[in-house]
């Protein structure tokens, strides 16, 4: 079951890789607004990142590097949430002034938490919560991936140890815990 999902994700990553543009020509868009160019640049960069993350998450799962796979999948979820935000912006573009649209698109394209002189990055948890309204379960999955991403029980002892209390022994390694099949 899991390997079929990995194959499906690999195929999607391959489709992304085959459609990656090498450039976007602003003049060829034939519009005066820079919003279309900004949106396309942000989208294409996210697609490049998503392909890389998905491909490497599949590779990590094949190697049973579960914490790496979880970190990459968490980052991929953040990409999806930002792409969702872009879609919302595109749908509501007529409600924004040209300057307001420019400002929000610059946050998508060049936002940062480390540069006080530049546009502020989007708050990714807000984007995830907005996506969760239309795609229930996204936030719960993201939170589970975050538990593994952080050095909590799920990402440390939960992945790499198996206690045997009656024997006063703890084993360490990969894949020690019994994997339960998802309930149907």
pTM of this structure? 0.84
- The pLDDT of residue 72 is 97
Within a domain: 141:
no
What digits encode the pLDDT tens for the residues 69-113?
A: 999 999 999 999 999 999 999 899 889 988 898 899 999 888 999
Domain that holds residue 86: 2-136
Residue 6 domain-assigned? yes
As to burial, measured by CB atoms within 10 angstroms (0-12 exposed, 13-18 middle, 19+ buried), residue 31 is exposed
Residues 42 and 128 occupy one common structural domain: yes
- Asked if the structure places residue 144 within a domain, the reply is no
- In total, the chain counts a number of residues equal to 184
Locate tokens 């309930």: which residue? 183
pLDDT in tens, 125-183: 999 999 999 999 999 999 999 999 998 888 899 888 999 999 999 999 987 765 544 44
Domain assignment of residue 142, yes or no: no
The reply to whether 57 and 102 lie within a common domain is yes
Q: Who contacts 162 (Cβ-Cβ below 8 Å, separation ≥6)?
A: 170, 171, 176, 177
Domain co-membership, 116 together with 157: no
105 shares its domain with 157:
no
Please tell me the total count of domains within the chain.
2
Please give the pLDDT value at position 9.
85
Are 23 and 76 part of one and the same domain? yes
Phi and psi of 110, rounded to 5°?
-130, 15
Instruction: Return the H-helix or E-strand segment holding 104.
Output: helix 98-110
Q: Name the β-bridge partners of 171.
A: 162
């Amino acid at each position: 079951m899991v390997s079929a999902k990995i194959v499906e994700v690999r195929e999607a990553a391959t489709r992304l890789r085959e459609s990656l543009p090498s450039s976007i020509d602003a003049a060829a868009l034939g519009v005066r607004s820079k919003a279309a160019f900004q949106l396309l640049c942000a989208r294409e960069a996210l697609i490049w990142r998503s392909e890389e993350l998905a491909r490497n998450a599949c590779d990590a799962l094949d190697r049973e590097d579960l914490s790496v796979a979880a970190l990459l999948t968490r980052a991929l979820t953040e990409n999806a949430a930002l792409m969702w935000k872009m879609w919302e912006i595109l749908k509501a573009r007529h409600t924004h002034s040209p300057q307001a649209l420019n400002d929000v698109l610059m946050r998508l394209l060049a936002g940062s938490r480390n540069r006080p002189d530049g546009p502020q990055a989007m708050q990714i948890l807000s984007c995830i919560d907005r996506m969760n309204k239309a795609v229930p379960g996204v936030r719960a999955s993201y939170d589970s991936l975050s538990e593994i991403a952080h050095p909590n029980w799920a990402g440390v002892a939960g992945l790499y140890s198996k206690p045997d209390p009656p024997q006063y022994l703890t084993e360490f390694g990969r894949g020690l815990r019994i994997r339960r099949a998802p309930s149907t």
